[in-house]
A and B are shown apart, each in its own frame.
Chain A
Amino acid sequence: MKVIETIDLNIYYKEVHALKNVTMSMNKNSITALMGPSGCGKSTYLRTLNRMNDLIEGCKITGQVLIEGEDAYAKGVRVDELRKKVGMVFQKPNPFPMSIFENVAYGLRVNGIRDKKFINNQVEKALYQSALFDEVKDSLKKSAMDLSGGQQQRLCIARALVIEPSVVLMDEPTSALDPISSAKIEELMFSLKKNYTIVIVTHNIQQAARISDNTAFFYIGELIEYGSTKEIFTNPKHERTQNYITGRFG
């Protein structure tokens, strides 16, 4: 089942044509890796899916973005409702300067949930899902700022999961982390696949190969190639893709 679909998607930052006619779709409970050299448009694409690009002045978009079949950019769509369906994890771990518990509970509170018992349950579940619960269960009241970088990033994942989105976008989630923390996050993504559809932007080609079901290769705003990860890495159709994954340019 297609959870995400973009049709003839074009994005302009003022005069710059950042994304050109991108048509692609992602299936439910899959991990899709977006890779390509810096400035290729992969992050731009990701940020279109939860409309974070709205925050950038002079950003214009044409074409369609369908999330669970609904046009994300249609008139009358409430951005905050869309973002409840499409969660996001950022490149740099960015927990709020609050307690661990409050960080995770935040998504529930801003969406008007007051039921304490429900909040407790959801927070615990999200921390459990993000493989952080055992490490923090005795220090939920402590500041999230005291956690290590890797723990902070898993907390950010828990924070995104607590409102039960159907899609989780990850923008280079391990690029600021050490290898061990990165490995933990990758492991985590595997387990999250059961319940969520994951789209991850990565600079790390091996990471894309390791974790994703499908891989998209972007180059200067164009979607060069998109297919199953196995196919892309063993038998790329385009020379550029081949050059990129073999490290001839990047």
Chain B
Amino acid sequence: MELLEQFVLGDLDAFETLFHQFQHEVYGWILRIVRDPAATEDLTVETFWRIYRSHGRFDPAHSFGAWARRIATNAALDHLRRVRTLRAEVALPTDFSQGTPPNPALQRETREQVLQCFRQLPAKLQAVATLALIEEQSYDEIAAALGISPGAVKLRVFRAVRQLRKSLTRAGVQA
């Protein structure tokens, strides 16, 4: 029996094989969205837990990777929503940089303002803006991961840029 068919039946060995095939891809995708390695580990575990829990709903005729990425995106969005709410309540730091140094040409204060304005965007706008503008993923790829059309992705990017520009202007950053 094929690996995916075994997985659909709930076979734990098949799931483990799939996990080891896809954990890097899922981890990398979540990291791109949430940009926090510690949270990404937890979310990768959460994603595979959700995947196993829904094994019966997976259609083996489709791509497991695309399905996993979609579940990972939902888990990442849930996390961004939680963090956004928490940040509004307890003023968490906005910088979850994961080791890559920021551009030194950008002044620290400006960077802080950009981070703060960006983190104020609704989770779904943050996610598309991160993937499209920072990570330069294609609209088609983002659309597949979010389960929406490429046109809807374009619209979300447009709204994210517009909201970001407004908040940056209010914060005194020329954008």
B is bound to A: no
A interface residues with partner B (beta carbon < 8 Å): none
